[in-house]
Chain A
């Protein structure tokens, strides 16, 4: 019985790790569904193509070649090395060692490839760390990148460094054990990288080697499970959410802002000469007597695709570095819009977890997170949308919040109120008479 203890511990760790993660994924899905409905079920073919090109193919990452290529190395390494995790899981459950080694030459090739990738990932991650902390690339040092945002970015890099190192140490000690002919440690695999680490352990005894190999093996798999669960608390969720997010991305031309149907209904009623102004409102499936709120003051006024955007954002800051307002010293940072939306959504979600359903906390996305000054600084130029490697639109959130400010609060800057009353009164944003519209031809 006692000899199965490692197997039992392994299965328990695996179940705990996956179970806790699944529970948090359920929360994320529930939180995203707090958003308003929006139809993104059209054009499946184009959507799959976008997901294949943008998420899987990383087509927008490489627009910045240095970061893009490094990212592809880490991303490929991450995906391919995970094949090895499959073997680790089977070995862990059944107490086997390198169960796939019967593949012979194929196994040698696989392990060899994993080693090279692990090494490249290690190098990539170190370079990323240098870019963040030594070169101090500007977009990693914007005001919103203080505190947790900064630590989160570095923690992810440390995680990956440790995991890759453990993987290589595990293999290096295995080489030594294979050479000593230790029990279980059958001759298998090729080790293009760890063969250079193995000599470090050449003077160790078989027992110490086994302890070291087992420790590296356990820490590696436990590390992976911890990292998996870290995702929920981190910006790093993009490794999963980039796929649905690019699939559900907006397919309209970037210049097209969505139409507010609730407004259309009212406008059409006003324009219809046959409409009875005293008629009871038609039953359009809305809550009784509750008129639809125009625009967004909190996360639940946004649609689910915008909330998915917020969870997907990995705070790379490409949007902010392209934003004309941000470049000229204004407070607006499109990345901060996404981070604020996610932070507030998490807060709302935690509130629901604690109270069973949402209990008013006296806070909202507008003003408590995103200030009006930020919202009014946007030129709607779409540079942020173009820059995002995973099809996030900070602009759509900015516009929805402006809609709330203008239509629910009449809180536009004075200049804009003047512009709008000009349009209303004389059909132009300036105080010119519509009857003078053709005067230019005679001037």
Chain B
């Protein structure tokens, strides 16, 4: 894919003396991971489609510090946080949306005490609000009737009690929404959280993502829907390890909505 999409930066907005409605916090995965970049683009398409006035920080964005904090490096976390807060506050940011539950949790819960107080939304919550306001149309399209299960990201679900926004969006796609046995507050982790994404697992008898993928495959979905770039990677790998990639796709909720409308 080599199409250029319009992604304004905060610096450009500032130069024009304007303020966007919302800052899109892309996150490291959304910026650099090949799979996650597709989610970023799908979300941007939806933002354009709903005529949302948004901007990104671009090269002024830096890691929120989530993996450092979870790994125990409070020092590095706070350095990242304070630096980011300086940038965000300089632009007088009020509202932030992100497609990564880890960025979401950190920005929402761990930045206020360090001086960064923003209205932070996960992209599924933001898309739901656009839907409720009538700005975004979500229709069945090509996924109508497909069997889809939603894997709850820990940092969206248990960590912040957001369970319904992604499901409401999926229902709007007129899919057959099926739940895994362990879901919502009982949902099993994909295995990536707590900085596990960046290291080899400790010795055991199975990888967590395989265990979770087995949960999903048991209910025979056409698509596993995710709301987190790391869950997405873990579930995609899990499906591959079960040699089911021909039958089961792993897609972000934003991708599902964008693809349904062939955006």
Chain A residues near B (Cβ < 8 Å): 252-257, 259-260, 263-264, 266-268, 270-271, 294-295, 322, 324-325, 327-332, 373, 376-383, 385-386, 399, 401-407, 412-413, 415-416, 418-420, 423-424, 427-430, 432, 434-443
A328 to B74 CA separation, bound complex (whole angstroms): 28
Q: Are B110 and A257 in contact (CB under 8 A)?
A: yes
Stretch at the interface among B91-99, B141-149, B199-207: B199-207
Pick from B7, B30, B82, B210: contact of A271, CB under 8 Å? B82
Pick from B32, B62, B200: contact of A415, CB under 8 Å? B200
Pick from A332, A380, A405: contact of B70, CB under 8 Å? A380
A419 to B67 CA separation, bound complex (whole angstroms): 8
Q: Are A325 and B204 in contact (CB under 8 A)?
A: yes
Given A294-B74, A376-B202, A420-B71, A428 contacting B28 (CB threshold 8 A): yes
Pick from A260, A268, A331, A428: contact of B32, CB under 8 Å? A428
A428: nearest chain-B partner, CB-CB = B28
List of B residues within 8 angstroms of A420 by Cβ = 67-68, 71, 73, 76
B186 to chain A, nearest CB (A): 7
A312 to chain B, nearest CB (A): 21
Pick from A322, A329, A378, A437: contact of B58, CB under 8 Å? A437
B99 to chain A, nearest CB (A): 12
A380 to chain B, nearest CB (A): 3
Pick from B61, B65, B158, B160: contact of A383, CB under 8 Å? B158
List of A residues within 8 angstroms of B71 by Cβ = 402, 406, 412, 416, 419-420
List of A residues within 8 angstroms of B158 by Cβ = 254-255, 381-383, 385-386
B77: nearest chain-A partner, CB-CB = A263
B110: nearest chain-A partner, CB-CB = A256
Q: Are A438 and B56 in contact (CB under 8 A)?
A: yes
Q: Are A430 and B32 in contact (CB under 8 A)?
A: yes
B158: nearest chain-A partner, CB-CB = A382
22 A–B contacts, CB within 8 A, in A order? A255-B154, A257-B110, A260-B78, A263-B74, A330-B202, A373-B203, A376-B202, A377-B202, A380-B195, A402-B70, A403-B73, A406-B73, A412-B73, A415-B198, A423-B80, A427-B28, A427-B62, A432-B28, A434-B62, A435-B59, A437-B31, A441-B4
List of B residues within 8 angstroms of A385 by Cβ = 158
List of B residues within 8 angstroms of A331 by Cβ = 202-203
Q: Are B194 and A379 in contact (CB under 8 A)?
A: yes
A242 to B202 CA separation, bound complex (whole angstroms): 33
A424 to B80 CA separation, bound complex (whole angstroms): 8
Q: Are A253 and B159 in contact (CB under 8 A)?
A: yes
Q: Are A324 and B189 in contact (CB under 8 A)?
A: yes
Given A254-B158, A324-B189, A416 contacting B204 (CB threshold 8 A): no
B122 to chain A, nearest CB (A): 12
Q: Are B189 and A383 in contact (CB under 8 A)?
A: yes
List of B residues within 8 angstroms of A386 by Cβ = 158, 185-186
Provide the B173-213 mask, 1 if CB < 8 A to any CB of A, else 0.
00000000000011011011111111111111111101110
A268: nearest chain-B partner, CB-CB = B82
Q: Are B72 and A259 in contact (CB under 8 A)?
A: no
Q: Are B70 and A257 in contact (CB under 8 A)?
A: yes
A423 to B200 CA separation, bound complex (whole angstroms): 18
The number of chain B residues with a CB under 8 A from chain A is 75
List of B residues within 8 angstroms of A295 by Cβ = 72, 74
List of A residues within 8 angstroms of B192 by Cβ = 379
A415 to B198 CA separation, bound complex (whole angstroms): 6
Given A271-B82, A330-B201, A253 contacting B109 (CB threshold 8 A): yes
Provide the B48-91 mask, 1 if CB < 8 A to any CB of A, else 0.
00000000101101110101111111111011101100100000
A6 to chain B, nearest CB (A): 55
Interface residues of B in 5-38 (CB under 8 A from A): 5, 7, 9, 26, 28, 30-33, 37
Q: Are A325 and B154 in contact (CB under 8 A)?
A: no
A436 to B83 CA separation, bound complex (whole angstroms): 18
Kindly name the residue among B76, B158, B194, B197 whose own CB sees the greatest number of chain A CB atoms within 10 A. Answer: B194
Taking A324-B208, A330-B204, A402-B70 as given, write out 14 further A-B residue pairs in contact, using a Cβ cutoff of 8 Å, ordered by the A residue number. Answer: A255-B105, A256-B159, A257-B110, A267-B75, A271-B82, A327-B208, A328-B208, A330-B203, A378-B194, A381-B188, A415-B199, A416-B195, A419-B199, A429-B197
A380 to B197 CA separation, bound complex (whole angstroms): 12
A112 to B83 CA separation, bound complex (whole angstroms): 69
Pick from B31, B206, B212: contact of A438, CB under 8 Å? B31
A379 to B155 CA separation, bound complex (whole angstroms): 11
A84 to chain B, nearest CB (A): 39
Q: Is B1 an interface residue (CB 8 A)?
A: yes
Q: Are B7 and A441 in contact (CB under 8 A)?
A: yes
List of B residues within 8 angstroms of A373 by Cβ = 202-203
Kindly name the residue among B41, B67, B197 whose own CB sees the greatest number of chain A CB atoms within 10 A. Answer: B67
List of A residues within 8 angstroms of B159 by Cβ = 253-256, 382
B27: nearest chain-A partner, CB-CB = A428
List of A residues within 8 angstroms of B63 by Cβ = 423, 427-429
Pick from A294, A328, A376: contact of B206, CB under 8 Å? A328
Q: Are B105 and A443 in contact (CB under 8 A)?
A: no
Q: Are A328 and B211 in contact (CB under 8 A)?
A: yes
A26 to chain B, nearest CB (A): 35
Q: Are A440 and B211 in contact (CB under 8 A)?
A: no
A252 to B210 CA separation, bound complex (whole angstroms): 31
List of B residues within 8 angstroms of A252 by Cβ = 109
B207: nearest chain-A partner, CB-CB = A328
List of A residues within 8 angstroms of B31 by Cβ = 428, 432, 436-440
A433: nearest chain-B partner, CB-CB = B59
Provide the B97-138 mask, 1 if CB < 8 A to any CB of A, else 0.
000000001000110011000000000000000000000000
Q: Are B70 and A255 in contact (CB under 8 A)?
A: no
Given A257-B70, A264-B78, A324-B208, A379 contacting B59 (CB threshold 8 A): no
List of B residues within 8 angstroms of A270 by Cβ = 79
Kindly name the residue among A255, A376, A401, A406 whose own CB sees the greatest number of chain B CB atoms within 10 A. Answer: A255
